Amino acid sequence: MAWQGLATEFLQVPAVTRTYTAACVLTTAAVQLELLSPFQLYFNPHLVFRKFQVWRLITNFLFFGPLGFSFFFNMLFVFRYCRMLEEGSFRGRTADFVFMFLFGGVLMTLLGLLGSLFFLGQALTAMLVYVWSRRSPGVRVNFFGLLTFQAPFLPWALMGFSMLLGNSILVDLLGIAVGHVYYFLEDVFPNQPGGKRLLLTPSFLKLLLDAPEEDPNYLPLPEEQPGPLQQ
């Protein structure tokens, strides 16, 4: 019964958050069970473009290291802030949310080439946290009961804590930088004089992922209109 309740709760989580979190957990479980090796997952441009191992473009965002405190720490932030974005500013805009993932993933991959970064899941987490924090400037965050501060400071606190865990801050800085680029192009520049939205979600994603909008000019058939029952 407990597992059924847990499964029911998980299915109530928004689709993108549920899918990404599950993919991360299953990837780590497969490595722990030695069904996969991290060497099959990491980003390697030579293997991607010369050996056509294109799955590495995705799997490097799914592996957060072996089971341990660092893994659960990252999963906590992925699940919490991905869900808060999807249920908040991206509510009813699944296609736009997926497009943010795609934009961030592509930009991180290109920039990651310069820093020889092999796994970018932590950078994606930092991006999600950054975008949420900039869209929630008035929210006060309690950081594990140790510190309380305004939301825009959260990405930097996360980077500092990540450094204490022995992780490279370069990955967090990459995620923050990409998150800022997205935030500027999506939230700041369109509101400037002469500005406009530059990040336009492709129509096929909207058709695939978003519920169709109701036509305001649609007139229902007479039998569909509310009224007394016809005998």
pLDDT tens profile 165-201: 777 889 999 999 999 999 999 999 999 998 888 999 9
Is there a domain that residue 215 lies in? no
Q: What pLDDT is stored for residue 143 in this prediction? A: 81
Is there a domain that residue 81 lies in? yes
Is there a domain that residue 190 lies in? yes
Question: What's the number of domains the chain is made of?
Answer: 1
Is there a domain that residue 153 lies in? yes
- Cβ contacts of 197 within 8 Å, gap of 6 or more: 185, 186, 190
114-123, 154-163, 164-173: the lowest-pLDDT one: 164-173
CATH of the domain at 186: 1.20.1540.10
Is there a domain that residue 219 lies in? no
Q: What is the mean pLDDT of the chain?
A: 87
What domain range is 53 assigned to? 12-203
In the 8-state DSSP scheme, what is residue 62? T
CA distance linking residue 9 with residue 13, whole number of Å: 7
Question: Across residues 10-35, what is the average pLDDT?
Answer: 92
Question: Per-residue confidence at 230, pLDDT binned at 50, 70, 90?
Answer: very low
Question: Per-residue confidence at 69, pLDDT binned at 50, 70, 90?
Answer: confident
Is there a domain that residue 146 lies in? yes
